């Protein structure tokens, strides 16, 4: 089962007055690229959450945003009164302050280094947040993967349609190919007879056969028809496999091989009917190349 690389998932929880929220978005990407965005106080959790994303998602540009809003008094940081008193003492000794020309605002002092400190149980709080974020990340990943699978089913349906177009047109090419040499021989004999009609010289069958053989060798596309058919079968098997193994890169490579065979057939065959069929084949391949860019 193929999966799309685009998706969205989220999960939230309200525990002991604290609201937790995790959101995950994924877009197309050649490789896995994980970005984790957290509040500054929880930045130490980024590496762990990114690792969990990597274990569940193998390809795509994935962004995780997590937030924690604490409505309880436990969220308050502590004021280091000794540090604050020291700052006030030093400022009071200043000539500008003692003379009354400059006043001390307590709000400005709170921003000085060491005055505001994290709660004494900050380590425990980080541990609680880590546990909840981990759980919510798993839930959001499950939701995102479900969406990617659903979009993958739509991708698979479209790919099957395009493969059907190629198979139909390839069957037309295969049916027409043997007639090309016969048509060429008939046209060549007719032209030779017309050119030699006035001279009374009969056309040389050996020369005609030699020219027909040379033309047949130059325009033979039997090998390309066989390889293209084999690629179609393999492509179909890959998109119908039941596991969740990432196949996007493999399909991208196979789409290039499909186009290579179609281009070779196009360059070899000058037949109008075959050319029309090859145009249909190449159009379907272009659509496939576009779609497999979305496959994980």
Note the pTM of the prediction, 2 decimals: 0.71
Encode pLDDT of 117-162 as tens digits: 666 656 777 888 999 999 999 999 999 999 999 999 999 999 999 9
CA 253-163-8 angle, to 5 degrees, is 70
pLDDT band per the 50, 70, 90 thresholds, residue 266? confident
- Give the whole-number percent of the chain exceeding pLDDT 70: 74
Tokens of 84: 């604050």
Q: At what angle do helices 248-268 and 222-239 cross, to 10 degrees?
A: 160
Query: 162 burial class (0-12, 13-18, 19+ CB within 10 angstroms)?
Result: buried
Distance between CA atoms of residues 152 and 87, nearest Å: 62
CATH 3.30.230 assigned to 7-75+121-149: yes
Distance between CA atoms of residues 101 and 95, nearest Å: 9
Domain 7-75+121-149 and domain 151-292 have a common topology: no
Q: Does residue 181 register a pLDDT over 90? A: no
Q: What is the mean pLDDT of the chain?
A: 82
Tokens of 293: 């860019």
Distances (CA, A) of 61 to 5, 123, 144, 157, 293: 8, 31, 13, 24, 13
Taking residues 35-45, report their average pLDDT.
91
What local confidence, expressed as pLDDT, does residue 214 receive?
54
Distance between CA atoms of residues 222 and 206, nearest Å: 25
Encode pLDDT of 71-123 as tens digits: 666 556 667 777 777 777 777 776 665 565 666 677 777 767 776 766 665 67
The CATH architecture one would assign to domain 151-292 is Up-down Bundle (1.20)
- Give the whole-number percent of the chain exceeding pLDDT 90: 49
Among 15-19, 89-93, 232-236, 263-267, which is the least confidently predicted range? 89-93
Sequence spans of domains, the chain: 7-75+121-149, 78-109, 151-292
Taking residues 233-255, report their average pLDDT.
91
Q: Are 279 and 262 in contact (CB under 8 A)?
A: no
Encode pLDDT of 182-232 as tens digits: 655 556 556 655 555 555 555 556 555 565 555 545 556 778 888 999 999
């Amino acid at each position: 089962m193929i999966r799309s690389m685009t998706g969205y998932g989220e999960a939230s929880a309200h525990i002991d007055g604290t609201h937790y929220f995790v959101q995950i978005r994924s877009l197309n990407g050649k490789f896995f690229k994980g970005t984790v965005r957290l509040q500054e106080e929880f930045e130490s959790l980024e590496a762990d959450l990114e690792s969990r994303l990597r274990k569940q998602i193998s390809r795509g540009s994935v962004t995780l945003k997590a937030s924690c809003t604490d409505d309880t008094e436990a969220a308050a940081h502590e004021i280091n009164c000794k540090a604050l008193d020291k700052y006030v003492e030093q400022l009071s000794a200043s000539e500008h302050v003692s003379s009354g020309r400059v006043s001390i605002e307590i709000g400005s002092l709170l921003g000085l280094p060491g005055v505001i400190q994290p709660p004494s149980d900050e380590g425990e709080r980080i541990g609680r947040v880590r546990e909840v974020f981990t759980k919510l990340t798993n839930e959001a990943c499950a939701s995102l993967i479900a969406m990617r699978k659903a979009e993958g089913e739509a991708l698979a349906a479209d790919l099957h349609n395009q493969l059907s177009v190629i198979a139909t047109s390839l069957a037309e090419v295969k049916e027409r190919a043997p007639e090309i040499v016969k048509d060429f021989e008939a046209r060549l004999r007719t032209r030779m007879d017309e050119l030699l009609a006035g001279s009374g010289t009969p056309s040389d069958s050996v020369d005609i056969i030699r020219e027909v053989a040379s033309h047949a060798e130059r325009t033979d596309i039997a090998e390309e028809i066989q390889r293209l058919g084999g690629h179609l079968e393999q492509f179909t098997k890959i998109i119908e496999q039941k596991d969740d193994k990432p196949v996007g890169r493999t399909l991208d490579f196979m789409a290039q091989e499909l186009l290579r065979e179609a281009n070779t057939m196009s360059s070899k065959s000058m037949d109008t009917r075959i050319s029309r069929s090859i145009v249909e084949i190449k159009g379907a391949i272009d659509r496939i190349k576009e779609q497999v860019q979305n496959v994980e």
